[in-house]
């Protein structure tokens, strides 16, 4: 994920490079703010070191910029999730577990972006279509466990939704109630895998 990377000042007039510079600045600021409505295009322009009018050349309003930023954020997250899953080798349960553990570590580092991506009013104002790929890949990961005989055959999409809901709840509590006395997220994820997906308790993680 590139949201936290410090970038050099952009040389003006470089088209797509300037657009990406604006998106990167918005990602950094959204992660700090945790609230898309607190973001202003003028503040983003100051962060990049350009005139506010240069931002409007690429984005007509704040929602359009936030949408583009979250789309880039999600693309980066999907790439990183694929790499995390690969660490599980050929075992689909280990791959699914690695995916969920990575999501946990990602939300710790990018708590603000997580809140904007999943908890902001932008979700009611706009259809964040790029988020659908997260659900598609989650379903595929659960289906792989079923196909390998490591989980009971069931509606993979429904099981994946239950699993995603549980994990989102677990990470949301950690973000919004940082003082809460909670078990390690790793232990919760293992319980979710056993109780929601049906992974046998003897499966060694």
The CA-atom distances, in angstroms, between 11 and each of 7, 8, 16, 48, 49 are: 12, 9, 12, 10, 10
What's the pLDDT at 4? Answer: 43
Domain residue spans of the chain = 16-197
**Of 3.10.50.40, 3.40.50.1000, 1.10.357.10, 3.40.50.300, which CATH number belongs to 16-197?**
1.10.357.10
DSSP string, 25-55: HHHHHHHHHS-GGG--HHHHHHHHTS-HHHH
List pLDDT tens digits, range 105-137.
999 999 999 999 999 988 888 899 999 999 999
What's the pLDDT at 201? Answer: 80
User: In a 10 Å sphere around its CB, with 0-12 CB exposed, 13-18 middle and 19+ buried, how is residue 172 labelled?
Assistant: middle
What's the pLDDT at 7? Answer: 42
All residue ranges of the chain with pLDDT < 50 are 1-8, 10, 12-13
Mean pLDDT of the chain: 91
DSSP string, 126-173: S--GGGHHHHHHHHHHHHHHHHTTSS----HHHHHHHHHHHHHHHHHH
How far apart are alpha carbons 85 and 99 in whole angstroms? 5
């Amino acid at each position: 994920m590139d949201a936290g990377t410090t970038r050099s000042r952009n040389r003006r007039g470089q088209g797509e490079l300037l657009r990406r510079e604006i998106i990167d600045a918005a990602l950094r600021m959204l992660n700090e703010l945790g609230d898309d409505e607190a973001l202003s295009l003028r503040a983003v322009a100051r962060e990049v070191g350009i005139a506010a009018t240069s931002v409007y050349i690429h984005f007509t309003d704040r929602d359009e910029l936030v949408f583009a930023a979250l789309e880039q954020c999600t693309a980066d997250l999907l790439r990183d999730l694929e790499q995390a899953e690969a660490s599980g080798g050929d075992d689909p349960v280990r791959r699914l577990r690695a995916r969920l553990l990575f999501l946990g570590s990602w939300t710790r580092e990018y708590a603000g972006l997580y809140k904007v991506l999943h908890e902001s009013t932008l979700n009611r104002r706009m259809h964040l279509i790029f988020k659908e790929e997260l659900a598609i890949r989650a379903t595929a990961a659960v289906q792989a466990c079923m196909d390998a005989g490591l989980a009971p055959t069931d509606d993979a999409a429904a099981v994946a939704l239950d699993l995603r809901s549980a994990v989102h709840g677990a990470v949301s509590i950690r973000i919004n109630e940082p003082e809460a006395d909670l078990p390690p997220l790793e232990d919760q994820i293992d319980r979710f895998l056993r109780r929601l997906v049906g992974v046998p308790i003897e499966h060694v993680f």
